[in-house]
Amino acid sequence: MSTHPAAPNTFDRRTLLTGALATAGALALPNFTRAADAPAAKPNSNIHGVKIGAITYSYRNARIDSAEQTLKALLESGLSEVELMGGPIQSFAGITAPKKGEPAKKFTDAEREAQLVKCAELKKMYNDAGVNIHIQKMAFGASDEEIEFNFRVAKALGAVAITTERNEALAKRAAPFAEKHDVAIAFHNHTNNLPSMDKPDPILDISPKVMFNLDVGHYFAGTKGQSPVPVIEKYHARIVSLHLKDRTADGRNLSWGKGGTPLKEVLQLLKKEKWPIYGDIEVEYPIPEGSNPVKEVAICLQYCREALA
């Protein structure tokens, strides 16, 4: 089992970052909250060629729901890349999801086109602030029309992929739409559905547009301490993005540098090989007292900067 000591000066870095976030946040507010004459400060989380973002699930405990609130959080965290969850997309574009047990709403062609216009507006709002939506994670509907529309949303947002949980039946059904729209469908692993290492993973045979969203922390915990580096080396051409988190071999989520997941080695591999794989921060560890998810994402970003130095 690979183990790593706690990151040096963790307390000092947390203290400095916490104190600096108010200043950084004031400089990084998006246009809709800034004074008209204030210069726009855009983030840059492309670190030596490695594009670091976050899945917005990381902000789930901060009452951040809207597209505007999410953008503000990303800017305050210092990120120029994002895997955007469905909630902010749907609320901004008026894509109402059915309540549990209710049938899906049927939208007219005109309503769908209006929703896509709003998605394009969402893309522009994020891009103008300096944030690229490289992946969207809006749930797939049951009908072909809903699957088709999900890929159209991804294109309107400028996303290269849609992420979802590993599902071979969905892969077979969605693959033709992914090929049609040139947008990948990237399957996320948990601890019990890991990419195959003893043979080529069969899900990838379905289509060249079927790819992986590899969660390195889940892989480490699911294999009881095996490094995800060989997986990335084997499947790098079929991995769109990584979910970055630090877990122990027995499955605990810890602040970065305190678990066993070889995050530094993973990041250094991306830097060395220059593979176009996004690294998305996912904060799942308990938020320390006195902190919040926005600050913790910023701390994880600083970890990435130090690991990639």
- Which amino acid is it at 304? C
Rounded Cα distance between 79 and 286, Å, is: 21
Element (H, E) at 132: strand 132-137
Residue 8 lies in a domain: no
Rounded Cα distance between 162 and 178, Å, is: 9
Tokens 């992420």 belong to residue: 163
| Global pTM value | 0.88
Range of the domain at 254: 43-96+124-194+207-307
- At residue 243, the pLDDT reads 98
The CA distances from residue 212 to 26, 104, 167, in Å, are 36, 28, 12
Nearest CA to 126 among 53, 74, 55, 51?
Answer: 74
3-state helix, strand, coil in the chain (%, to 5): 45, 15, 40
Overall residue count recorded for the chain in this entry:
309
**Residues 6+ positions from 212 with CB-CB distance below 8 Å:** 186, 187, 189, 195, 204, 235, 238, 239, 240
- At residue 154, the pLDDT reads 98
- Which amino acid is it at 19? G
- At residue 239, the pLDDT reads 98
What is the total count of domains within the chain?
Answer: 1
Residues 118-154, buried b or exposed e (16+ Cβ, 10 A)?
Answer: bbeebbebbeebbbbbbbbbbebbeeeeebbbbbbbb
**Residues 6+ positions from 165 with CB-CB distance below 8 Å:** 187, 188, 190
- At residue 99, the pLDDT reads 74
Residue 112 lies in a domain: no
- Which amino acid is it at 288? P
Rounded Cα distance between 84 and 279, Å, is: 14
CATH number for the domain spanning 248: value is: 3.20.20.150
Rounded Cα distance between 268 and 242, Å, is: 13
Residue 81 lies in a domain: yes
- At residue 101, the pLDDT reads 75
Residue 116 lies in a domain: no
**Residues 6+ positions from 93 with CB-CB distance below 8 Å:** 115, 116, 118, 119, 122, 153
| Positive or negative: CA dihedral 23, 27, 30, 36 | positive
Residue 33 lies in a domain: no
Residue 28 lies in a domain: no
Residue 83 lies in a domain: yes
Strand 246-247 and strand 253-254: pairing? antiparallel
3-state secondary structure of 165: strand
Residue 130 lies in a domain: yes
Nearest CA to 302 among 256, 246, 268, 243?
Answer: 256
| Positive or negative: CA dihedral 220, 50, 79, 156 | negative
Nearest CA to 268 among 304, 214, 227, 241?
Answer: 304
- At residue 48, the pLDDT reads 98
Both structure tokens of 37 = 């004459």
- At residue 40, the pLDDT reads 60
Per-residue pLDDT of the chain (309 residues; tens, 9 = 90+): 333 333 333 334 444 444 444 434 433 444 444 444 444 689 999 999 999 999 999 999 898 999 999 999 999 999 999 999 999 999 999 998 777 777 778 899 999 999 999 999 999 999 999 999 999 999 999 999 999 999 999 999 999 999 999 999 999 999 999 999 999 999 999 999 999 999 999 999 999 999 999 999 999 999 999 999 999 999 999 999 999 999 999 999 999 999 999 999 999 999 999 999 999 999 999 999 999 999 999 999 999 999 999
